[in-house]
């Protein structure tokens, strides 16, 4: 799951070996595609969905993504966020966490973020959210080994726990 143009289809292609369309136009994916990926020695379904800003869909494509999430109660969610605009992607990630899904966050476009001098403290973000946070460059496969090996650490977290760790981290870092 993630906003438009963050690299979801690039992830899907790399993880499944499929070839769905990737392009630099938000709204490239308007329907879902199912594929398979190897996870912990087993083939599991991986679903590529359209981009959505939130879980309150604003158009047909967003509706497809939100409906798919609702139907896949057992899903582990890879939340993809543009590393150069983390604050824009966190809203959706928190909404998905709040629904009780185990989430792993990929800070994709790490190369672009670097080139515009945006630095993200992934460890701190991980501490606060309590979910794995992995920097990636989907077009080059960077971070994918770590991503796949840490998917098993994605576990449900409550918003109360996150609020508590925000409090702790602001007390310890001045
Ligand atoms: N520089 C860079 N480009 C990337 C990265 N990941 C994906 N891209 C490119 O970003 C564009 C968008 O990628 P897509 O995979 O189509 O994004 P999407 O999230 O599926 O987009 P929608 O289907 O429109 O929601 C493509 O041109 C990709 O090649 C990355 O880590 N770094
Ligand atoms: Mg896509």
Query: In CATH, what number is assigned to the domain containing residue 136?
Result: 3.40.50.300
Enclosing H/E stretch for 163: helix 159-172
Residue 3 belongs to a domain: no
Residue 15 belongs to a domain: yes
- H-assigned helices in 35-156: 60-71, 86-98, 110-115, 122-129, 144-150
- Dist. CA 138–CA 125, nearest whole Å: 20
pTM for the model stands at 0.96
**Predicted pLDDT at 172:** 62
Q: Quick check: 161 and 153 in contact, CB under 8 A?
A: no
Residue 1 belongs to a domain: no
Nearest atom within ligand 1 for CA of residue 10: 15
Domain count, the chain: 1
Ligand 2 centre distance from Cα of residue 61 (Å):
11
Residue 41 belongs to a domain: yes
Q: Residues in the chain with pLDDT < 70? A: 172-174
- Dist. CA 48–CA 12, nearest whole Å: 6
Instruction: Identify the domain containing residue 151 by its residue range.
Output: 8-168
Taking CB atoms and a 6 Å cutoff, what residues make up the pocket around ligand 1? 2, 4-10, 22-24, 26-29, 50-51, 108-109, 111-112, 137-139
**Predicted pLDDT at 167:** 87
């Amino acid at each position: 799951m993630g906003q438009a143009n963050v690299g979801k289809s690039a992830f899907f292609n790399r993880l499944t070996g499929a070839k769905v369309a990737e392009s630099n136009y938000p709204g490239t994916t308007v329907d879902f595609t199912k594929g398979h990926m190897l996870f912990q020695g087993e083939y599991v379904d991986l679903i590529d969905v359209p981009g959505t800003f939130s879980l309150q869909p604003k158009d047909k494509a967003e509706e497809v993504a939100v409906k798919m999430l609702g139907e896949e109660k057992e899903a582990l969610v890879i939340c993809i966020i543009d590393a150069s605009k983390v604050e824009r992607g966190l809203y959706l990630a928190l909404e998905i966490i709040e629904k009780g899904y185990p989430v792993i966050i990929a800070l994709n476009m790490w190369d672009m973020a670097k080139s515009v001098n945006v630095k993200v403290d992934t460890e701190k973000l991980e501490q606060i959210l309590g979910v794995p946070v992995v920097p990636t460059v989907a077009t080059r496969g960077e971070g994918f080994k770590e991503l796949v090996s840490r998917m098993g650490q994605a576990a449900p977290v409550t918003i109360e726990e996150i609020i508590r760790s925000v409090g702790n981290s602001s007390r310890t870092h001045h």
